[in-house]
Amino acid sequence: MAERPLDLHGRPLGVLRLSLTARCNLACPYCCPDLEDPPDLLTLAERVALVEATVGLGVHTLRLTGGEPLLHRRLEELIAALQPLRRRDPGDPRGALREIALTSNGVLLGAERARQLKAAGLDRITLSLDGTDGTSVARMAGLGGAAAGEAVLTKVLAAIRHAREAGFDPARGALKLNAVITRSGNADQLLPLAALAREQGLELRLIEFMDVGNRNGWAPEQVLPAAEMVARIGAAWPLEPVGRAPHGTAGRWRYRDRAAAGADGGAHLAVVASITAPFCGDCNRLRITADGVAYSCLFAADGTDLKPWLRPGADAAGLEQALRRLWLQRRDRWSEERQMVRPGEGVATPSRSHAEMAYLGG
């Protein structure tokens, strides 16, 4: 078996987040996606070659993201083309892909699309929704007015239903809900979102507002710390910790009433505290943009353009070497370092430019 690289902090490579487009059909102000894609988007064959190369270095989980990945017309084709990597034996010396997941805002997830994704071989879907009323959804999605927010909300609620009906089972972790919480934007939506997720039997993943990119107006005062989110929800429905999965980004909690009734299902609460409680020490994620630039950290300023090893025609050995070199030289622990720069202050101000979120895919 080819040797799997460890980075300079001894971390293996495990998860690839592949952004398929930098464009989006929403305009969440905390994300600020681009109106146009970069000119040099990767082709389907180039994406397959990239995923195969990273699988050889240890990637077992692929998350397709964006921008909005459902805007990508060849999404199902890409998922289908990756199935041979999933069918490999776990002990295959070339590595094997265990699962393919998708993060989406759900607006374009109709019943037929959900069935097509399942049939193509998608394993898991995480849908993003930041509120349960039209006004909150409009504010968090950058839409003009409550009616537009209401329309998006209706579509996302339908998307949850379509995904479930297509076979993405929340009790098996195959369907989850993401929500970014900001102090002035939607902190009042914590309880309504938790109630919705409990009712639907979904894991709710609450994400601290992160200083990714340079144009989302991030300010420390806008971050609602994960501990506060857990305290507020726990006051309504008492919680007990379940712990963090190895290499997981989220601290997880279960509802006492559900656990006591033996009706835990998938409806846990998870909090992603990358600002107030960074998890860099365990980070096994690589991000690749829609135009083939690899970033070894969500907060990185610079990436490595992999196109020279993809065009014209993939140079599999060169690509593997370039990725291996990138991972062996990886020293990023940006979130932890930010905390050390301003000890005791909890949340520090950003101090350098970052790549934009829609390129990095969350």
Of the pair 68, 208, the CB lying nearest ligand SF4 is at: 68
Q: Work out which of 26, 57, 194, 270 binds ligand SF4, going by CB under 6 A.
A: 26
From the list ligand SAM, ligand SF4, none, pick the one residue 210 interacts with, judged by a Cβ distance below 5 to 8 Å according to partner type.
Answer: ligand SAM
Shortest Cβ 123–ligand SAM spacing (Å): 16
Under the binding rule (CB under 6 A), the answer on residue 33 touching ligand SF4 is yes
Alpha carbons 195 and 191: distance in angstroms, whole number = 6
Using CB under 6 A, which residues numbered 32 to 61 contact ligand SAM?
Answer: none
Q: Work out which of 21, 128, 136, 335 binds ligand SAM, going by CB under 6 A.
A: 128
Q: Is 341 helix (H, G, I), strand (E, B) or coil?
A: helix
Alpha carbons 189 and 133: distance in angstroms, whole number = 9
In the numeric block, the tokens 């193509």 are attached to: 120
Of the pair 156, 310, the CB lying nearest ligand SAM is at: 156
Name residue 264's amino acid.
D
**What is the DSSP secondary-structure string of 50-113?**
HHHHHHHTT--EEEEESS-GGG-TTHHHHHHHTHHHHSS-TT-TT----EEEEEE--TT--HHH
Under the binding rule (CB under 6 A), the answer on residue 65 touching ligand SAM is yes
From the list ligand SAM, ligand SF4, none, pick the one residue 265 interacts with, judged by a Cβ distance below 5 to 8 Å according to partner type.
Answer: none
Using CB under 6 A, which residues numbered 179 to 198 contact ligand SAM?
Answer: 180
Handedness of CA 317, 319, 321, 327 (dihedral sign): negative
What is the number of other CB atoms lying within 10 angstroms of the CB of residue 81? 17
**What is the DSSP secondary-structure string of 269-334?**
EEEE-TTTS--GGG--EEEE-TTSEEESSTT-S--EE-GGGTTTS--HHHHHHHHHHHHHT----H
Q: Are 207 and 181 in contact (CB under 8 A)?
A: yes
Under the binding rule (CB under 6 A), the answer on residue 117 touching ligand SF4 is no
Binding residues for ligand SF4, rule CB under 6 A, total 12
Shortest Cβ 212–ligand SAM spacing (Å): 5
Residue 3: partners with Cβ closer than 8 Å, 6 or more residues away:
none
Under the binding rule (CB under 6 A), the answer on residue 303 touching ligand SF4 is no
From the list ligand SF4, ligand SAM, none, pick the one residue 27 interacts with, judged by a Cβ distance below 5 to 8 Å according to partner type.
Answer: ligand SF4
Judged by CB under 6 A, the stretch of 25-33, 212-220, 273-281, 326-334 that binds ligand SF4 is 25-33
Under the binding rule (CB under 6 A), the answer on residue 310 touching ligand SF4 is no
Shortest Cβ 182–ligand SAM spacing (Å): 8
Of the pair 122, 207, the CB lying nearest ligand SAM is at: 207
Q: Are 67 and 20 in contact (CB under 8 A)?
A: yes
Under the binding rule (CB under 6 A), the answer on residue 200 touching ligand SAM is no
Using CB under 6 A, which residues numbered 251 to 270 contact ligand SAM?
Answer: none
Task: Name which of 119, 130, 103 is nearest 24 in CA terms.
Answer: 103
What is the number of other CB atoms lying within 10 angstroms of the CB of residue 338? 21
Residue 312: partners with Cβ closer than 8 Å, 6 or more residues away:
none
Under the binding rule (CB under 6 A), the answer on residue 357 touching ligand SAM is yes
Q: Are 94 and 53 in contact (CB under 8 A)?
A: no
Under the binding rule (CB under 6 A), the answer on residue 275 touching ligand SAM is no
Q: Work out which of 19, 105, 136, 339 binds ligand SF4, going by CB under 6 A.
A: 105
Q: Work out which of 193, 271, 273, 358 binds ligand SF4, going by CB under 6 A.
A: 358
From the list ligand SAM, ligand SF4, none, pick the one residue 216 interacts with, judged by a Cβ distance below 5 to 8 Å according to partner type.
Answer: ligand SAM
158-171 in b/e burial notation, b at 16+ Cβ within 10 A?
A: bbbebbbebebebe
Q: Work out which of 7, 46, 68, 203 binds ligand SAM, going by CB under 6 A.
A: 68
Under the binding rule (CB under 6 A), the answer on residue 127 touching ligand SF4 is no
Q: Are 107 and 152 in contact (CB under 8 A)?
A: yes
Using CB under 6 A as the criterion, which residues of the chain lie in contact with ligand SF4 when the complex forms?
A: 24, 26-28, 31, 33, 66-68, 105, 128, 358
Using CB under 6 A as the criterion, which residues of the chain lie in contact with ligand SAM when the complex forms?
A: 24, 30-31, 65-66, 68, 103-105, 128, 178, 180, 207, 209-210, 212, 216, 357-358, 361-362
